[in-house]
Structure formats: C-alpha cells, structure tokens
Structure 1
Amino acid sequence: MKAMVETLHLMKAGKPRGDMLMDWAQLRDRIGFDAYYEESERYASSRRDG
C-alpha cells in the first residue's frame, strides 16, 4: 500500500516512476490473466450459441 501511495504522489507531481511499475507481461502474470485465459479456452467448445 505504501508503494502505491508513493507512486500516486510521483504521478501527481509529474515525476518519473518507471522503476515503480511492472510491464504489461509482469502485471498479467501477477494478476493471473494468462491462467484465466488458458482455463477459459478449455471450456470454449462447451459454449452454447444463441
């Protein structure tokens, strides 16, 4: 939480914060997007149309 508050202060001040942020691939992995999409694909064939 402290890191998030500090990053928000840097953003507000217009200061660089690159070392405080994850790139998109890291964020997707951390949140679990990739695992969600992989699991979702397992059930794609069981979807009903209409």
Structure 2
Amino acid sequence: LKQILYNLLSNAVKFSESGKRIGLRAYPQDGCAIIEVWDEGRGIDTKDV
C-alpha cells in the first residue's frame, strides 16, 4: 500500500503543471478505508487507456 501511494503521488507531481493542485484523502466507509489521490494534470489520452 505504501508503494502504491508513493507511485500515485509521485506521478501526480511529475505530470502536473506548476501551480496545479494535488490531493490525498482517506476516510472510512462501510468498514473499509477509502483512499483517493487526485490531481489537476492533463490526464491520460483515452486512446492510451
């Protein structure tokens, strides 16, 4: 889990333009932990998904 979060956050920093926001949120839901990582980067082109 530590490595996954590190990779997600590293990619968010690497591929986001200067001044763009990066977020991390964790909260409990139905007995589970929900972890969200998001950024304001350009994302992945749909043809590459």
TM-score tier, shorter chain, comes to under 0.3
The answer to which structure, 1 or 2, has the higher relative contact order (CA under 8 A, 6+ apart) is 2
TM-score, normalised on structure 2?
0.28
Greater gyration radius: 1
Q: Which is helix-richer, 1 or 2?
A: 1
Q: Which is strand-richer, 1 or 2?
A: 2
